[in-house]
Amino acid sequence: KNHFPHTHPDWLRTKMDQLKQILNFGKPLNIQLLDNAVRSFYSGNMAIQKVLVDFQEHPQAWTRVDQILDKSQNPQTKIIGLNILDKTIKYRWGALPKPQREGIRKFIVSLIIKLSQDKALFQKNMKVVRKMNLVLVQIVKKEWPHNWPNFIPELVQSSKKSASLCANNMQILKLLSEEIFDYSLGQMTERKKSEMKKNLNSQFTMIFQLCEYVLGNSNDQLLVTITLQTLQKFLHWIPIGYIFKTKLLETLALKFFPISQFQNDTLQCLGEIAGIETKGKSEYTPKVLAMFKAVMQQTGKLIKPTMNVAQLYASGNEKAATFIRYLALFITSFCTPKTHLSELEAGKNEDHIALFSALKFLLMISRVNDMEIWKICLEYWNGLVADLYHSMRVNPAGSLNLGGVREYSSPRVKRYSSILSELRHVMITKMPRPEEVLIHEDENGNIVKQRSKDTDAITLYYRMKEGLVYLTHLDAVDTQSIMLNKLGRQVDGSEWSWNNLNTLCWAIGSISGTLHKHIEKTFLVRVIKDLLQMCDNKQGKDHKAVIASNIMYVVGQYPRFLRKHWKFLKTVVNKLFEFMHEKHEGVQDMSCKTFLKIAQSCRQEFVKQQEEDEGKMQRAFVIEIIERLPQTIEDLEESHIHTFYEAVAGIVRAEQRLQVAQQLIMQLMKLPNSRWAAIITQANRHMESLFDLRVVKSVVNVLKTNNRAATALQHYFDIQLGRIYLEMLQVYKSYSKYVSNEIGKRGANATKTVIVRQMRTVKKETLRLIQTFVANSVQGQHEMIFKRLLPNLLDPVLDDYKRNVPHARDAEVLSLIAELIKTLGPGMSSVIPRILDSTFSCTLDMIKTNLQDFPDVRRTFFEMIRAINARCFQALLALKPVQFKLVMDSICWSIQHLDRTIAEIGLNTMLKMLSNFESSQAAAQFYKTYYMHMLKEILKVLSDTFHKPGFVLHCKLMMKLFVVCQSGAIPVPLWNPKQGNFPNNVQFVQQSVAHLIKNTFKNISTRQAEYFVVGAFKFTSSERDFKRHIRDFLIQLKEFSSDKDDLYLEEKQRMQNEEKKQVNARKEQVPGMIKQS
């Protein structure tokens, strides 16, 4: 047999020594042995893996590639050889002598021609040839144009030898185009990209002529298909004269689009052309419109008006599904305001017919049950309706004639009326679930609570909301009519289903704010009445849950209406209180969250007196809510009760009269305070009662209730905090002592017991409650915090933290300290030594062994250091040198973390530290001690692929360090006598960094390292040029050839932020587009 009998038990003993011969590069390679090993490995023998890996990673492995490709009989072995060569080209090409580079290049070219020239041989070796094409393109990226100027002419000339060779050459050109124009970001330096693009453009005439010749003369289906696919990759970057001044459009639209086997590839090419903007070039208009009409005419033969496109797509016909997707892309690219919509609208009747035929096709495609296709269609529809909205005539008063009266303000909008009406139906039936809706139908057809957010659905909801808002403005009457008719069919049961009701109500909620106030009132009252009637009439827990969720969602979307109609608001809130007694978990949860949302948006209405029917003034409704609170929450779970308290506390916060607000707070907190008082009273009598598990859980819930109330009340919470503060700290001490005793008896395993976990929750909630109040406190309360809260707080909290075992230390301690420092600022300087003594060393011991353990403690520890550095810098300067070194080592340790949040905390802390020392008398000693250490740490993470997300901050820090050095701000030499003598610090830093780079990265020459360092100092006056220089260097390191987007993160974020600002500015001009508050 020609392969190892790897199933035989003696195989490893008898064959492994023989197999290792392939690792002996001093002897000729035994190709048959290598083929057998590869074949055996791919048959499942994993014992061979190490030998094959060692072979591929050997520095001389590339010297075996020619033999492998020439003599191997196993395609998988050839792929391994090509992988070796590919890696060599990427990372070691410049280190190879010129004759060897030329030899490899000629060998690969001749082998590709040999395997591609004959059609049968080409098809037999297709996989190997494809891999060889990729290798060749890597060589081209290194050699062309400076060392291989005739690459394009040679490729075009060789294409004339045979159809199969021409087809493969097209594949090579396609790959090259992708490498230069699609994937070059982060792969090549800016200079190399620019050079290659320029040369490919200058030599493109030959390529285009080859494509023209093939499309005009070839009958080879494979060649024509590959040529169309290759051409599609060129169309977005070639000069448009090649498209519009030649016969290319006619060839594609009239010759190839009607032919079934070329239809999809042709349509993809036409889709690229459709997106090209030709405004200002009216001479191209006739050809462009003729192409569009030809495509629509042919499409009309394929898609009849009665055809169910959604059903065709779902049938599993891959070719038909691809055609539908490409047709959607073609129409949505061609018929936009940026491309050719205005030309079609201004054209002849036949142009109008083609346009509206295309939109009808797109409506049919929009009903396809495929999310990606729907997103393509939705993006287009949103753009179209937005353009129609902004083009509408403005009346003399300056406002649009919208909101309930069917009055078309432009003939243009009227022409689209039937399309837009059908689009409203499509939008409503496809509306996704908003984030406020907390119940859904599971895969078994049951209505259950939503356990996690569907972020894709939420994003899609907001995009569809945008479209429906525009559609409502364009014709509010039609929108209302469609919605009310659909709702009527839900009421009478003719179209009743959970999905139909859900999508309809989600659509109704999405158009909040688009209607005139009086129209909105009539519309909303009708909707809510119908929904309430359905809720009363429908039997079954799930039916009622679905209807209830829709009632709550709809009313929650119309706060403007609720604020203006007190009686309706009161009715809605009372209905929510009824839903809180429903046994369905999702309904209870949603009723509480809807109440919270309404309370936040309508809080003023609850605290003021409202007029009754007889004209009398009734007391503020918040008083009634608080009085009924025990009955309202009696069926709620604890988590829902916490939400309820936050809602009512937010309402109380709206009361401007401080004394009245304080009375309301005491009444609101009466129930949890009575539970708290009972616990404390019992504990005073029998301390052991405090350690009963039920009591501990009760304490947890009381504290969580207080926490949610504090979040809403903000600085008003001081009266309630004062009521429980000292007792709360006593409980904290008692539980701390209990936990410490348990750990002393049972070790770290004690932290896993239920009672200890619950006690630790009490401690965490205590710390969070204090932190919430401190974070929301106002200036006038800061002295009270420092003098009254802090003295009682520090000793029990800090001593407990220092005393405990690592697994029992709470990150909330460090978080609270960081918040106190940020809020109180320099006033905390006097207690910083006390804080550091209790937290620093013990925490550092927890986190210094690796980068993963205790993630919460780790993050809050670095947040605390950042806060001290930012707000109490003088306290750091007062530390002893040994202590300050620990702080600096901790900051340097933080930037090495793979956790992006922690790394960014460390980098920002270091930046702030450098800024603080700029004006400090201690700067000279600081730079002398830590300058080179910081620079080395930054270089380490900058060149590490795992730290790419921090690229922008790395550049800022390095640039800051170089600027400090250049400016002469360091009055002492950074070198010591053992390192030699240097004219200045700049020379020393440049030489040190170049030496460090050269020793760290073996593929970087001394010249490259020096060029990088000198360039970095040169570009310190421009942050943009500095980052570009750093990027090019990282690309040279060959460490950033994949996942390179993080190197351009700042530019992307800046563009996204600018785009977001523009989008938000436009949305603010459209009523209903921004969610009501």
CB 721 within 8 A of CB 773: yes
- Cα–Cα distance measured from residue 939 to residue 1033, given in angstroms and rounded to the nearest whole number: 12
CB 265 within 8 A of CB 225: yes
Q: What is the mean pLDDT of residues 797-804?
A: 93
Give the three-class secondary structure for 869.
helix
Count, in order, helices (H) and strands (E) of the chain. Answer: 55, 4
Give the three-class secondary structure for 475.
coil
| DSSP conformation letters of 621-671 | HHHHHHHTHHHHTTTS-HHHHHHHHHHHHHHHHT---HHHHHHHHHHHTHH
Model confidence at 893: pLDDT above 70: yes
Is pTM beyond 0.85 here?
no
Q: For residue 485, what are the CA distances in angstroms to 420, 478, 513, 523, 538?
A: 17, 10, 21, 12, 19
Model confidence at 1000: pLDDT above 80: yes
The 10 Å Cβ neighbour count of residue 43 is 12
pLDDT in tens, 688-706: 999 999 999 999 999 999 9
Burial of 452 (0-12, 13-18, 19+ CB in 10 A): exposed
Give pLDDT, residue 3: 47
Give pLDDT, residue 1048: 47
Model confidence at 634: pLDDT above 70: yes
Q: At which residue do the structure tokens 């990673």 appear?
A: 57
List all residues 6 or more positions away from 210 whose beta carbon is below 8 Å from its beta carbon: 156, 159, 166
Average pLDDT, the chain: 90
| DSSP conformation letters of 184-240 | -TTTS-HHHHHHHHHHHHHTHHHHHHHHHHHHHH---HHHHHHHHHHHHHHTTTS-T
| Partners of residue 254 on adjacent β-strands | none
Give pLDDT, residue 463: 95
Residue 396's pLDDT band, with cuts at 50, 70 and 90, is: very low
Burial of 567 (0-12, 13-18, 19+ CB in 10 A): exposed
| H or E segment to which residue 736 belongs | helix 718-746
Q: What is the mean pLDDT of residues 1021-1043?
A: 75
- Cα–Cα distance measured from residue 923 to residue 177, given in angstroms and rounded to the nearest whole number: 53
Give the type of residue at 347. G
Give pLDDT, residue 691: 95
CB 501 within 8 A of CB 390: no
pLDDT in tens, 724-753: 999 999 999 999 999 999 988 888 889 899
Model confidence at 1002: pLDDT above 50: yes
| Partners of residue 449 on adjacent β-strands | 439
Q: At which residue do the structure tokens 């040999």 appear?
A: 114
Give pLDDT, residue 9: 47
| H or E segment to which residue 518 belongs | helix 517-537
Residue 20's pLDDT band, with cuts at 50, 70 and 90, is: confident
Closest residue by Cα to residue 893 from 948, 851, 852, 931: 851
pLDDT in tens, 657-673: 999 999 999 999 999 99
HSE of 805 in the Cβ direction (CA atoms, 13 Å)?
Answer: 15
Model confidence at 6: pLDDT above 70: no
Closest residue by Cα to residue 822 from 869, 889, 789: 869
- Cα–Cα distance measured from residue 143 to residue 93, given in angstroms and rounded to the nearest whole number: 10
Model confidence at 958: pLDDT above 60: yes
Percent of the chain with pLDDT over 90: 73
Give the type of residue at 701. N
Q: What is the mean pLDDT of residues 295-308?
A: 95
Model confidence at 779: pLDDT above 50: yes
| Partners of residue 610 on adjacent β-strands | 618
CB 919 within 8 A of CB 911: no
Using alpha carbons only, give the angle 577, 581, 584 rounded to the nearest 5 degrees: 120
Residue 782's pLDDT band, with cuts at 50, 70 and 90, is: very high
Model confidence at 90: pLDDT above 90: no
- Phi/psi at 549 (nearest 5 deg)? -60, -35
Q: At what angle do helices 566-579 and 517-537 cross, to 10 degrees?
A: 30
| DSSP conformation letters of 906-923 | HHHHHHHHHHHHHT-TTH
Max distance between CA atoms of the chain, in angstroms, equals 108
- Cα–Cα distance measured from residue 1077 to residue 1074, given in angstroms and rounded to the nearest whole number: 9
- Cα–Cα distance measured from residue 776 to residue 1025, given in angstroms and rounded to the nearest whole number: 42
Helices assigned H by DSSP within 275-335: 285-302, 309-314, 318-334
- Cα–Cα distance measured from residue 903 to residue 895, given in angstroms and rounded to the nearest whole number: 4
- Cα–Cα distance measured from residue 1045 to residue 1029, given in angstroms and rounded to the nearest whole number: 16
Give the type of residue at 261. Q
- Cα–Cα distance measured from residue 772 to residue 714, given in angstroms and rounded to the nearest whole number: 8
pLDDT in tens, 169-212: 999 999 999 988 877 655 667 777 788 888 888 899 999 999 99
Give pLDDT, residue 1022: 92
Give pLDDT, residue 1076: 67
Residues comprising the chain, all counted? 1077
Q: What is the mean pLDDT of residues 841-866?
A: 94
- Cα–Cα distance measured from residue 994 to residue 986, given in angstroms and rounded to the nearest whole number: 12
- Write the Ramachandran bin of 83: left for phi over 0, alpha for psi from -120 to 50, otherwise beta: alpha
Q: What is the mean pLDDT of residues 843-871?
A: 95
pLDDT in tens, 447-469: 777 766 778 889 999 999 999 99
- Cα–Cα distance measured from residue 246 to residue 959, given in angstroms and rounded to the nearest whole number: 51
Give the three-class secondary structure for 362.
helix
CB 506 within 8 A of CB 1067: no
Quick one: CA dihedral 689, 695, 696, 700, positive or negative? negative
| Partners of residue 441 on adjacent β-strands | 447
Buried b (16+ CB within 10 A) or exposed e, 44-73: ebeebeebbeebeeeeebbebbbebbeebe
- Cα–Cα distance measured from residue 753 to residue 1031, given in angstroms and rounded to the nearest whole number: 52
Give pLDDT, residue 409: 59
pLDDT in tens, 470-526: 999 999 999 999 999 999 999 999 999 999 999 999 999 999 999 998 899 999 999
Q: Which two tokens stand for residue 994?
A: 């170049």
Return contacts of 88-96, CB within 8 angstroms, 24+ apart.
Answer: 88/61, 88/62, 89/135, 89/138, 89/139, 89/142, 90/138, 90/1038, 90/1041, 91/1003, 91/1038, 92/62, 92/1003, 93/139, 93/142, 94/142, 94/1003, 95/1003
Model confidence at 11: pLDDT above 60: no
Closest residue by Cα to residue 431 from 334, 519, 502: 502
Model confidence at 1044: pLDDT above 60: no
Q: What is the mean pLDDT of residues 135-159?
A: 93
- Cα–Cα distance measured from residue 439 to residue 449, given in angstroms and rounded to the nearest whole number: 4
Residue 536's pLDDT band, with cuts at 50, 70 and 90, is: confident
Give the three-class secondary structure for 369.
coil
